Structure 1
Amino acid sequence: MSHHAPAVSDANTVSAHPQASLLRYGLLAILLALLLAAPFLVYPIFVMKLLCFALFASAFNLLLGYTGLLSFGHAAFFGGAAYFTAHAVKEWGVPPEIGILIGMAGAAVLGLLMGLIALRRQGIYFTMITLALAQMFYFFCLQASFTHGEDGIQSVPRGHLFGFIDLSVTTNMYYFVLAAFLIAMAVIWRFINSPFGMILKSIRENENRAISLGYSVVHYKLGAFVMSAALAGLAGGIKALVFQFATLTDVTWQMSGEVVLMTLLGGIGTIIGPIFGAGLVVALQNFLATSDFPVTVITGVVFMVCVLLFRRGLVGEFYGSRIGRKLGFDHRV
């Protein structure tokens, strides 16, 4: 009897996988359909803001969830790219796609410089160094002439994508943001499921063992740091075009804390988690903005409840639940 039980269990597991795969693909198809229809159902600017922050949180999760590095300096990449993109598009007159690439390149260079300094230390020391470096960049943005100080860069033209798609039309802008978001998420998925991503996970789980196997841990961490910075820069550059301005708000330490909050709420180490967490925070901010309730207090209460009741985040707890395991959900979705 005992000899047949594992075989039955294995058969059930194998038979469950096709159903789980179909369910995952079905949910993704429904989500994609909703995103395609969103500008006709919801205020498009709100959805574009949600997509920008979902990408920002996903970029941050690449570092925290898959590499085990907690950075408190990601606002420098997000806000820095917003400044670089806004300045390039408005002052240099470059097309929007080139402006976004300039923002990403600037964020990647910032990530390389900050990573080279911060990765000399580990744990809380690494986190504090990233915070200190981000604050230095904040004061640079406050004093630099091209950022216009507290006024920021305003009236940023959206321009024409590839020379013929007018992004001043809200619908065109929305589908551009959606396309950029989907491409970036595909890149993140491919990255974490590549041999490079597998090594990052091994570093997160047991760094000493990864070193003993001959991997240059610092180089892999630096690669993840720069990749995360560049994708955060993509989110910041797009946001600058959506709202047509870049301000100091995007480079403050509060923005770094906000992206940590989004990622933890959704669930670190998952693809959907940061997107869900970003959606929850942005929706709360949007709907509470016109009410008498203090947004930060409500967000803090939600975060506290989720930390106490859902230690792995909302999506992470669902994946770990009996239903999630039965449906075959894992870190890939």
Structure 2
Amino acid sequence: MASSINWAWLLVAVGLAVLIAAPALVYPIFLMKLLCFGLFAAAFNLLIGYVGLLSFGHAAFFGGAAYIAAYSAKVWGFTPELAIIASTAFAAVLGCLIGAIAIRRQGIYFAMITLSCGQLVYFVFVQSPFTGGEDGIQSVPRGALFGLIDLNPAINMYYFVLAVFVAGMFAIWRIVHSPFGAILKSIRENETRAISLGYRTERYKLGAFVLSASIAGLAGGTKAIVFQLATLTDVTWQASGEVILMTLLGGLGTMIGPIVGAGIVLSLENFLAASVIPITVITGSIFVLCVILFRKGIAGEITGFFERKQSVELRSNS
């Protein structure tokens, strides 16, 4: 067990080193987009991968937070960190409202409620005068971090986004590996038994929903500052479907899976944009292949392989 933990921390250290050095080799804007969507997918995975709740309306938190961050930075003159905090708080409150309604149902009913609430949020942003309609909020100033560090240079912005990404992923890791996370997993496996043990599962599911929405809002607010733009694209049900695709491709219930899935989807969109074949067709074909060949997702299959190998080694040593 200690060996597997050491390997895990070694992989984390290598991953951080790669991300720190990545701007020298890869376009920083693409990397920042990857980090934002990777954090969004990881937040969604916290809900579906560890609680077993499928939300079709998670774009409401991601895109809604983007609008709040953009408006507070452009109109109210908030510094970038305050704008992102405001957007995260908005996503938490919205998640509490939607979650309180949705967790009363299970399965497909839960998914449909989140979808309808997500569409309701979409139409609110379409009609609201402060959002700019289909034009969105443009020319959002990046500002200076804590009033000291200018975020207009791409390299400064990248390392700020990387810090937000690391903080968000650490929060998810801490939640999953806490007693609270253990209860969430028990709810996913057998909610009836969790109730029989005395846990009020509705409260735990609502807490997980709010945490997932908050981290999704953190990713959305950061994206608005990065691209200096907030549009309806990030609030649509298609955006919710895209994050589901990212999570399933990477692997449910894994820390690295959603990031891998986000990397695959965004890379396809970026490098095949000029392709004659529509991107959705290519992405859908890859998704079908992954469902057939990798039932647990790409990262899920790799993680499962090492877990099986470790269990064989433990049996042989015993």
TM-score bracket for the superposition, by shorter chain length: over 0.9
SS of the residue corresponding to residue 199 of structure 2 reads coil
- TM-score, with structure 2 as normaliser: 0.96
Shift of 1:326: 2.3
Matched, 1:325 2:308: yes
Q: 1:54-203 maps to which residues of 2 (within 5 A)?
A: 54-203=38-187
Matched, 1:208 2:167: no
Deviations 1:77-103 (A, max 9, x none): 000000000000000001110000110
Deviations 1:231-270 (A, max 9, x none): 0000000000111000000000000000000000011111
The amino acid that maps onto 2:60 is: A
SS of the residue corresponding to residue 129 of structure 2 reads coil
Matched, 1:231 2:208: no
SS of the residue corresponding to residue 302 of structure 2 reads helix
Shift of 1:319: 1.8
Matched, 1:289 2:282: no
Measure the CA separation in 2 of the matches of 1:45 and 1:315. Answer: 25
Matched, 1:240 2:224: yes
Match of 1:222 among 198, 206, 213: 206
The amino acid that maps onto 2:30 is: F
Deviations 1:164-205 (A, max 9, x none): 100001111000000110011111101011111110000110
Q: In structure 2, do the counterparts of structure 1 residues 221 and 272 end up closer, same or farther at CA, with 3 Å as the change threshold?
A: same
SS of the residue corresponding to residue 266 of structure 2 reads helix
Equivalent residues of 1:19, 1:327 under 8 A apart: no
SS of the residue corresponding to residue 66 of structure 1 reads coil
Shift of 1:130: 0.3
> Which stretches in structure 2 are left out of the alignment for 5+ residues?
312-318
Match of 2:254 among 246, 260, 270: 270
Shift of 1:20: 3.1
Shift of 1:26: 2.6
Measure the CA separation in 2 of the matches of 1:230 and 1:240. Answer: 15
Shift of 1:327: 5.1
Measure the CA separation in 1 of the matches of 2:2 and 2:304. Answer: 19
Give the alignment's Cα RMSD to 1 decimal. 1.1
The amino acid that maps onto 1:246 is: A
SS of the residue corresponding to residue 271 of structure 2 reads helix
SS of the residue corresponding to residue 277 of structure 2 reads coil
The amino acid that maps onto 2:300 is: G
Shift of 1:22: 3.5
